[in-house]
């Protein structure tokens, strides 16, 4: 059994949730180790992604209640999160308290990091970044390890 499946099995066993499924296992952004550590430490409780990217990749946006496994830069599981809320808003309307929940720094840091990340990612699709672009704002709770 691979590490991700074993991590999920351990979580389900410890919480009497056998038969429950997780949606995906993934790395956060361009700094996977740092961001995974912030989740484990409880400092990162939100994440932002580009709405248009879900459309381009024909993927459904996350939904409240879903479980995800957070991977570090070596694709090893570090935490399990459960989505608490999902909201789609223009990036330039993201509230400061939400940006701070991402755990990386102040609002200016959040804005610059996301502008850079989205600009580079959208180039792969011949698209351009816009401050008005729709983003998916997810709040989550780390449920494992406690």
Query: Using 50, 70 and 90 to split pLDDT, how confident is the model at 146?
Result: confident
The token duo for 140 is 């989550």
Residue 38 to residue 109: CA distance in whole angstroms: 15
Dump pLDDT digits (tens) for 6-29. Answer: 999 999 999 999 889 999 999 997
Show me where the domains of the chain are located.
3-144
Q: What does each C-alpha distance from 42 to 81, 102, 122 come to in angstroms?
A: 11, 10, 30
Mean residue pLDDT of the chain comes to: 94
Is this prediction's pTM over 0.95?
no
Dump pLDDT digits (tens) for 54-64. Answer: 999 899 999 99
Residue indicated by tokens 């459309």? 55
**Statement: residue 88 has pLDDT above 80:** yes
**Statement: residue 84 has pLDDT above 70:** yes
Q: Which CATH superfamily is domain 3-144 in?
A: Sulfate adenylyltransferase (3.10.400.10)
Average pLDDT, integer, range 33-48: 95
Picking from 84, 71, 75, 74, the residue whose alpha carbon sits closest to that of residue 40 is 71
Residue 1's pLDDT is 59
């Amino acid at each position: 059994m691979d590490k991700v499946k074993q991590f999920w099995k351990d979580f389900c066993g410890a919480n009497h949730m056998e038969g429950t499924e997780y949606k995906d296992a993934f790395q956060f952004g361009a700094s996977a180790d740092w961001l995974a550590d912030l989740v484990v430490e409880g400092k990162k409780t939100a994440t932002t992604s580009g709405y248009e990217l879900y459309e381009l990749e024909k993927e459904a946006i996350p939904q409240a209640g879903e479980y995800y496994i957070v991977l570090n830069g070596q694709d090893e599981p570090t935490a399990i999160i459960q989505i608490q809320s999902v909201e789609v808003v223009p990036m330039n309307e993201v509230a400061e308290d939400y940006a701070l929940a991402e755990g990386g720094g102040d609002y200016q840091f959040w804005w610059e990091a996301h502008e850079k990340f989205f600009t580079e990612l959208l180039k792969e699709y011949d698209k351009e970044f816009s401050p008005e672009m729709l983003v998916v704002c997810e709040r989550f709770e780390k449920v494992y390890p406690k």
